Structure formats: structure tokens, C-alpha cells
């Protein structure tokens, strides 16, 4: 029996894990699809146009980058993922040249200029988002009220977070009640569900859920596209963690530190006291959860190793808290991760030096 | 029976090559001495089949190093096969006699290819070690050693008794996988009880590579992996057959399997038989084999063709399909950290690779390059399919690093 086997494989190991960097990027992109769908439902064409433009620019930019680097890289999925992530940080109805230019900047400048996937020290999507905020600060902060709340398309409004920051007086009211007191819009869905839960569940426990949290969780509030589906986001993160596609310690450390600091010191909103911060509001408004699972845990720009991941995640959590407590805008979370991207080599070097010192001491 | 047997003289890269004692054209009997041990690492080589010596020439072994090989083509009748084996009562033999037999019959440790007589002598001179009879495997395919425990427990335990007599270990541990069948364990316990040996059966958690001495030592809470003397059931059976039945090392248990083999099985193959014969005996291929591997999927080597012959260290022949190999294009490191999580030596493969790529070999050595056992776990897990093990191996052997 003569061999007709072409040996493609010339070195061990001859079997591999199913995870590849390309597959990870594609699965990550897939987990964002429910958010794309939901935001398109609640914002209509204002959302859809942003997603489409971002994706198209991502594909074109990656094709150009492939030409420049002389290797075909569209298959690795990172361009599509970057496009989706940049779009997720955009408010619906934003002028369409903004996602287009930001995505092109992400892929062509932040990623390709440093040598392509794996060599970029900064998360490309975050680079693009920071670029957009720096360039078009006004347009990036004009939000729309979902048509499921207002009944009509294209009503502009400010996010609950920005609105609450502007509230003065009534400091004994909890933040949600203060928002209601200032007649901040509330959807019928929220009042129905919250009313039901209060009547049948919380009243028996002697508790009361203020109106408005359901709106925050299901995205019926003005905000960026990525914030519009907290539940879908959590489902996606379960998929990513379950398939072990992201480093779990980073989002866990980040959210834990952020939550603890918010609980202790509050975020400067009405109704908060020392050791009485509104954690639920802090987590369900703004992009903390989105950034934790989709940005901070990006493998390329985060440090490698268990201790490093913990330090990195915890530092992002702390920075998020600082930006949220004293900063002016909700995009602080993006800058928190960017700062730590820059410090990643420093963290890795410090722990290495520590390990060396310990090894020498033994 | 193979029509031709190609018998490699060297079983390890660094061994001294045994000296042929036959000439081309000479008629040889089955089990006749073909080449004589000539120094460290080399062992006697016997003819697996009766026939005529056709060629003695240099060739590439399946292990990837040069060695001379003796080609014997089948002619005449088998003298050992089919005969009832002789049975000597080894307990009346003294250590020198047994040692002589082991050396004479060219028994090698199947996992490494080192002459068993040599490693036994080395152990006997340094008492205070633990003898580990390891039925643990390095990959999820082969289960030969476990199967041998199930079908030949008496011979394994008897081989163990011989090894124990020769080396006087302080403890004997039989290492088995956690999923071994309860019936096998029960039978083994009975055989052990009858043998008057003090062997403790120890199940191990299945995490590949499971069979490495350092992993076994760590699981047993023994600080120094060097104080373990690891032998496999298959080696013990070869030892047993040499001492009790006067049989040289001319046969080998080979697991033939993988997704592209029709009926995977454990075969008792003659040394020197082409692997194509073994595959045919298992019903041939089903589907399209992408790679044929000799040894194991982690540390084995791809077979260049189906004429590669079985050696004394060939423990498995695997025909792997594309679904099993999961090849993907190599990409840049995405720093996912999976390689660190799986490294059984606790190294940081991603960092060592980075240092090597930057040409900083001394730093790579400081980061533990030389502790790398080339087990393949990191390259298995690598999402960007970087050939980490290949590069580490090349760097360790001081080859030009790209």
C-alpha cells in the first residue's frame, strides 16, 4: 500500500484546541448581534445606519490594510469586531461620517500602523472611540429617545446619567425618584413591569423598586447603541466566559472594584450617602458593563497572566469610578481602559521584576 | 507477518549505534542477534522474522534522526511464533543472571528507548527511589497501557516484581487514570495480593500530558521528580517475557487509531513492520487522513509515508482527520494567555517565545526555556497556531532561530 497522504503537518502537536484567534473574534461579533437587532428595533434607521456604515468602513479599511501589509487579514474577524465595537459607542442618529472616520482611524492607524493584529498596543476600537469624542464632542453627546418610549422617531434627550448629574436639590430622594420628580421620560413597559414586581414580589419583602430601572436594563432610555441592551450584553458575556474566549479575571476584577467603590463613596448623585451609593444605577447606566466584557478583556491590549489581569482589571474599575464620580461625561470608562492599555507593559514588567526578586530571595 | 522488516539500530538520538554482527545475504533465524550493543544507550537488536539480510544502510528513523537499519526479507519458518513459550522460574536466578538476560535480549524502556539494563543498573546504585508503574497516557487516543493491565495483569505484576528485585525501590506505586474500569482494578488488586509485593494503586486526574515524571511527582507530593523510576506496563511485559520466556524485544504493542482509521485497535506488531500493514490490519482508512502520526498527537512525529517501520518505541500510529488536527493559518500572538494556563511546567511560553524572537536566548533560558519538556500543551492551545514547541526545541538544540 503506497502512501497518498499529503503531510500538511510537519511538526507536533498534530491536534489543536478548537479556539483560534479568528474564531474568537467572529464569535465575539456574533454575541453583539442581539444588541444590533434590539437597537435597530428601538431606534429604527437612526441605529441601523450607524451599524451599517461602521461595518462597511471596517471591511473597506481592512482590505486597504491587507494591501498595505501584503497579507490577507479580513478572515481573522478582528476588523468586523472593531467596526461593531466602535459603532456600539456611538449615539443613534449621529452624523454618519463620524462612525466612518472613527472606524477607519481604528483600523488603519491604531491597528495597522503598529503592524496589525497582535502588535497593536492600544485597543483599536477604543482608539477610534476616543478619536470620535475628541473630534466631535457635541455630536457624540446628542442622544435620542427610543421610539418605544416617545412613540415618535428622533426626539432628542439627555441620558439618565447626564440628567441626574445635573439635578440639584431634593437630596433625600433616591436618584430614580428624583428623575421621576423632574418628569424624566418613563416607558409604559417599565411602569407595568415595575408595578407588577412591586405588587407581587417586593411588597412582600417590604421593599420597593423605584420606576426606571427596567428602562435602564432594556435600553428604553437615551444612550449609545451599545448601552441599549444590557440583558443581551450580559447574555453575550456569559457566552464569552463560558467558551473561555476572554480573560475572565479582567471584567470580574473591574466590576468588583467599581461596584465596591460606588457602594462606599457613591457617584455624586442625589440620594446617595456614604456606604449608600446606588450600585444598580451605576451599573445599568453608562457603558461600564459593555466596556468590562468587550473592551477591557480584549486580549491583545491587556496584560498576560493571572496577577497582571487582576491588577489591570482592578485599576480600570478604580479609574472608572474616579471618572464617574468626579468626571463630567459617561465616556470616562473608555478613557479608563485606554490609560491602562498604555500601562500594560509597565504592569507586566513590575510583576516580572517582583517574581525575579522573590526567586532571588529563595 | 511483514514480508520485509526494517530494523533500526538506534532507538534514541544520542545512543551509540550497535554494531551489526550479520552480513548482507546471510540467512537469519527469528530472534537471532543482528547487532550488538556498542556502548552507552545502545542495546542488542534481534531479527523479528526469519529471512535473509538484504541491506544494511543508513536511514531516517521515525524519531527524526539518522541510524543504520537492517532490512530482513521473510524466508523460512518461524521458530518462536506459535510455539508454546518456555517458562523459567526467575526467582531462582540471581541479579547478575537477570541483568545479563535483560541486556542480552535488548529490552528497552518503551517510553524513551533507553536500554532497560542500563537504567536498572543506574537505579540499583542509588537506593531510596519510588518505582512508578505508569499506565498513564500522554494523549486522549492511546489506552494501550490500561488495556495491558486489563488483559495481562499477572505478567505486568510479575515484570514489576523482577524490576523491584533488581533495583530495590523504597515504594512501588501503580499509577492509573481516574476513569479506569473498576473490574480491572479489582483484578489487579487480587494479582497484587497474590504476588506479595507492596504495590499501592493510585488513580490520577486526567489532564494531558498526564504521563510526565514531573507531573506524577507533583501529584504524589514528591519534590524531586528525579527520585521516581517510571516504567510502563508494556516495558514490564517485555521484561517479563525476556526473563521468563527468553524472548528478545522483537514485538511491540501498537495502538492504531485516530478518526481516519476504520477499526482502531491495539495490535501486537513485529518490530520493523511497515505501519501501512498495521493500518491495513485495522481495516484501512475511513475518510481522509490529513496526517499520519507516529507516537502521539502531542509529542509524536508525522510519518513521511506508510512504509515507515515500527520500532521498539513506536507506541501508536494515528491517522488524523482535519476535524481532529484543526489546522489554521499561523497569526500574530494575540496575548490570550492560554499557553500559560496549560503549561505543566508553570512556564510562560508566550514570553519565552517573545524573547526568542527578539534574539535574547539567554533571557529565554532565564525564563525557563530549558525546563520546557516539549510536551506540546502550549502549541495545542495556541489560538494563533504559533509553532511554539518547534521553536523551543530548535532553540534548545541551539539551532538557527528564525
Instruction: Give tens-digit pLDDT for A12-44.
Output: 889 999 999 999 999 999 999 999 999 999 999
The cell for A84 is 461593531
Residue A362: pLDDT over 70: no
* pLDDT digit string, tens, across residues A127-163: 999 999 999 999 998 888 888 777 777 788 888 888 8
pLDDT value at residue A171: 58
> Three-class SS of residue B172?
strand
Which of B291, B307, B395 is the best mutation test for A, with the most CBs of A within 10 A? Answer: B291
Cα of B290 to nearest chain A Cα, Å: 7
Q: Do B381 and A19 touch (CB under 8 A)?
A: yes
A16:B382 CB<8 A: yes
Q: What pLDDT is recorded for position B117?
A: 92
- CA A358, distance to chain mean position in Å, is 37
Are the beta carbons of A21 and B379 separated by less than 8 Å?
Answer: no
Among B45, B6, B67, which residue's Cα sits nearest to residue B308? B6
Contacts of B284 in chain A (CB under 8 A): 1
The chain B residue lying nearest A18, using CA atoms, is B326
CB proximity list for A352: less than 8 A, separation 6 or greater: none
Residue A5 has pLDDT above 60, yes or no: no
Chain A residue numbers touching B380 (CB-CB < 8 A): 13, 15-17
Separation between Cα atoms, residue A164 and residue B302, nearest integer Å = 66
pLDDT attached to residue A6 = 42
Chain A residue with CA closest to B297: the answer is A14
User: Per-residue pLDDT averaged across A205-234, rounded?
Assistant: 87
> B121 and B111 in contact (C-beta within 8 Å)?
no
A2, B305: Cβ pair inside 8 Å? yes
Instruction: Kindly report, residue by residue over A328-342, the tens digit of the pLDDT.
Output: 777 788 899 999 999
Measured between CB atoms, which of B290, B332, B381 is closest to A118?
Answer: B332
Instruction: Look at A210-219, A224-233, B172-181 and tell me which has the smallest mean pLDDT.
Output: A210-219
Average pLDDT over residues A278-297: 89
Chain A residues with CB-CB distance to B293 below 8 A: 9, 12, 14
Q: Which of B139, B296, B332 to mutate against chain A (most A CBs within 10 Å)?
A: B332
* Cα Rg of chain B, angstroms: 21
Contact B334 A247 (CB under 8 A): no
Rg (CA), chain A: 22
CB-based contacts of A189, cutoff 8 Å, min separation 6:
A148, A214, A215, A218, A220
Distance CA B401, CA B357 (A): 8
Give the per-residue pLDDT at B399.
58
**Average pLDDT rounded to a whole number, residues A260-268:** 89
Q: Distance from B336 to chain A by nearest Cα, in Å?
A: 5
The C-alpha angle A278, A284, A47, rounded to 5 degrees, equals 150
The two most distant CA atoms of chain A are separated, in Å, by 89
Q: Please, which pLDDT band fits residue A270 given cuts at 50, 70 and 90?
A: confident
Listed residue (A157, A154, A160) closest to A177, CA to CA: A160
Sign of torsion over alpha carbons B382, B387, B388, B389: positive
Decide if A19 and B327 are in contact by the 8 Å CB cutoff: no
Q: Which residue of A has its CA nearest to B300?
A: A12
Q: Structure pTM?
A: 0.85
* Best residue of A9, A12, A81, A310 to probe chain B, by most B CBs closer than 10 Å: A12
Nearest to A12 among B277, B376, B383 (CB): B376
pLDDT at A290 over 50: yes
Instruction: Please tell me the distance from the alpha carbon of residue A299 to that of residue A118, in angstroms, as a whole number.
Output: 9
**What is the pLDDT at residue B401?**
46
Q: What is the pLDDT of residue A127?
A: 93
User: According to the model, what pLDDT value does residue B402 have?
Assistant: 42
CA A143 vs. chain centroid, Å, equals 17
pLDDT tops 80 at residue A55 = yes
> Are B297 and A14 in contact (CB < 8 Å)?
yes
ipTM: 0.84
Q: Which residues pair with B46 in a beta bridge?
A: B33
What is the pLDDT at residue A89? 93
B283-292 burial, b at 16+ Cβ within 10 Å, e below that, comes to eebeeebbbb
DSSP secondary structure letter of residue B382: -
| Residue ranges of chain B with per-residue pLDDT less than 70 | 80-86, 399-402
Q: What pLDDT sits at residue B80?
A: 62
Q: What is the pLDDT of residue B227?
A: 85
pLDDT for res A84: 96
Residue A9 pLDDT class (50, 70, 90 cuts): low
The verdict on a CB contact (< 8 Å) between A8 and B327 is yes
Q: What pLDDT score was predicted for residue B37? A: 92
Q: Is the pLDDT of residue A207 over 90?
A: no
Amino acid at each position: 500500500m503506497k502512501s497518498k497522504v499529503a503531510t500538511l503537518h510537519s511538526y507536533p502537536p498534530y491536534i489543536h484546541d478548537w479556539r483560534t484567534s479568528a474564531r474568537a473574534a467572529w464569535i465575539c461579533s456574533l454575541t453583539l448581534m442581539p444588541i444590533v437587532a434590539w437597537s435597530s428595533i428601538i431606534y429604527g434607521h437612526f441605529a441601523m445606519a450607524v451599524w451599517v456604515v461602521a461595518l462597511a468602513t471596517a471591511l473597506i479599511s481592512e482590505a486597504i490594510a491587507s494591501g498595505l501589509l501584503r497579507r490577507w487579514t479580513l478572515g481573522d474577524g478582528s476588523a468586523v469586531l472593531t467596526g461593531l465595537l466602535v459603532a456600539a459607542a456611538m449615539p443613534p442618529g449621529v452624523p454618519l461620517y463620524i462612525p466612518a472616520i472613527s472606524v477607519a482611524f481604528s483600523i488603519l492607524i491604531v491597528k495597522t500602523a503598529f503592524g496589525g493584529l497582535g502588535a497593536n498596543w492600544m485597543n483599536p476600537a477604543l482608539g477610534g472611540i476616543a478619536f470620535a469624542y475628541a473630534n466631535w464632542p457635541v455630536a457624540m453627546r446628542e442622544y435620542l429617545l427610543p421610539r418605544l418610549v416617545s412613540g415618535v422617531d428622533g426626539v432628542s434627550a439627555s441620558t439618565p446619567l447626564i440628567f441626574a448629574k445635573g439635578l440639584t436639590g431634593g437630596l433625600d430622594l433616591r436618584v430614580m425618584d428624583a428623575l421621576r420628580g423632574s418628569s424624566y421620560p418613563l416607558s409604559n413597559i417599565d411602569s407595568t413591569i415595575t408595578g407588577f414586581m412591586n405588587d407581587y414580589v417586593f411588597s412582600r419583602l417590604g421593599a420597593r423598586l423605584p420606576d426606571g430601572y427596567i428602562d435602564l436594563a432594556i435600553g428604553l432610555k437615551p444612550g449609545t447603541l451599545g448601552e441599549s441592551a444590557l440583558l443581551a450584553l450580559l447574555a453575550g458575556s456569559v457566552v464569552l466566559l463560558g467558551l473561555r474566549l476572554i480573560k475572565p479575571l479582567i471584567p470580574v476584577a473591574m466590576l468588583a472594584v467599581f461596584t465596591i467603590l460606588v457602594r462606599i463613596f457613591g457617584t455624586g448623585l442625589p440620594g446617595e450617602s456614604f456606604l449608600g451609593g446606588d450600585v444598580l444605577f451605576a451599573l445599568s447606566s453608562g457603558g461600564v458593563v459593555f466596556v468590562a466584557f468587550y473592551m477591557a478583556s480584549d486580549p491583545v491590549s491587556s496584560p498576560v497572566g493571572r496577577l497582571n489581569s487582576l491588577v489591570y482589571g482592578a485599576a480600570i474599575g478604580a479609574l472608572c469610578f474616579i471618572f464617574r464620580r468626579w468626571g463630567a461625561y459617561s465616556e470616562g470608562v473608555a478613557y479608563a481602559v485606554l490609560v491602562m492599555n498604555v500601562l500594560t507593559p509597565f504592569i507586566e514588567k513590575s510583576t516580572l521584576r517582583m517574581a525575579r526578586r522573590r526567586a532571588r530571595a529563595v | 507477518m511483514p514480508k520485509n522488516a526494517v530494523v533500526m539500530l538506534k532507538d534514541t538520538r544520542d545512543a551509540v549505534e550497535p554494531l551489526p554482527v550479520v552480513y548482507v545475504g546471510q540467512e537469519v533465524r527469528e530472534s537471532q542477534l543482528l547487532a550488538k550493543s556498542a556502548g552507552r544507550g545502545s542495546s542488542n537488536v534481534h531479527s523479528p522474522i526469519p529471512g535473509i539480510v538484504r541491506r544494511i544502510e543508513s536511514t531516517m528513523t521515525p524519531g527524526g534522526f539518522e541510524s543504520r537499519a537492517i532490512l530482513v526479507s521473510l524466508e523460512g519458518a518461524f521458530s518462536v511464533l506459535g510455539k508454546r513459550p518456555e517458562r523459567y522460574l526467575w526467582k531462582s536466578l540471581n541479579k547478575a543472571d537477570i541483568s545479563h538476560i535483560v541486556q542480552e535480549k535488548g529490552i528497552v524502556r518503551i517510553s524513551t528507548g533507553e536500554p532497560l539494563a542500563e537504567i536498572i543498573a543506574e537505579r540499583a546504585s542509588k537506593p531510596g527511589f519510588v518505582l512508578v508503574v505508569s499506565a498513564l497516557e500522554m494523549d486522549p487516543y492511546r489506552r494501550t497501557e490500561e488495556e495491558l493491565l486489563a488483559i495481562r495483569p499477572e505478567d505486568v505484576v510479575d515484570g514489576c516484581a523482577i524490576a523491584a528485585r533488581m533495583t530495590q525501590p523504597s515504594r512501588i506505586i501503580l499509577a492509573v487514570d481516574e476513569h479506569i474500569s473498576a473490574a480491572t482494578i479489582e483484578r489487579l488488586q487480587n494479582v497484587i495480593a497474590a504476588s506479595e509485593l507492596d504495590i499501592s494503586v493510585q488513580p490520577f486526574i486526567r489532564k494531558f500530558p498526564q504521563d510526565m515524571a514531573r507531573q506524577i511527582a507533583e501529584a504524589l507530593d514528591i519534590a524531586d521528580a528525579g527520585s521516581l523510576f517510571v516504567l510502563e506496563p508494556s516495558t514490564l511485559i517485555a521484561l517479563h517475557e525476556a526473563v521468563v520466556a527468553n524472548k528478545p524485544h522483537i514485538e511491540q504493542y501498537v495502538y492504531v487509531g485516530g478518526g481516519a482509521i476504520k477499526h482502531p485497535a491495539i495490535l501486537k506488531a513485529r518490530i520493523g513492520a511497515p505501519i501501512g500493514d498495521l493500518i491495513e490490519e485495522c481495516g484501512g482508512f475511513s475518510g481522509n487522513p490529513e496526517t499520519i502520526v507516529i507516537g502521539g498527537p502531542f509529542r509524536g512525529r508525522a510519518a513521511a509515508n506508510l512504509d515507515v517501520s515500527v520500532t521498539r518505541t513506536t507506541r501508536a500510529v494515528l491517522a488524523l482527520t482535519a476535524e481532529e488536527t484543526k489546522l489554521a493559518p499561523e497569526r500574530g500572538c494575540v496575548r490570550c494567555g492560554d499557553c500559560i494556563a496549560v503549561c505543566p511546567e508553570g512556564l510562560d511560553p508566550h514570553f519565552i517565545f517573545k524573547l526568542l524572537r527578539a534574539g535574547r536566548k539567554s533571557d529565554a533560558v532565564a525564563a525557563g526555556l530549558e525546563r520546557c519538556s516539549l510536551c506540546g500543551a502550549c502549541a495545542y492551545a495556541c489560538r494563533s497556531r504559533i509553532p511554539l514547541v518547534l521553536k523551543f526545541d530548535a532553540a534548545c538544540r541551539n539551532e538557527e532561530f528564525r
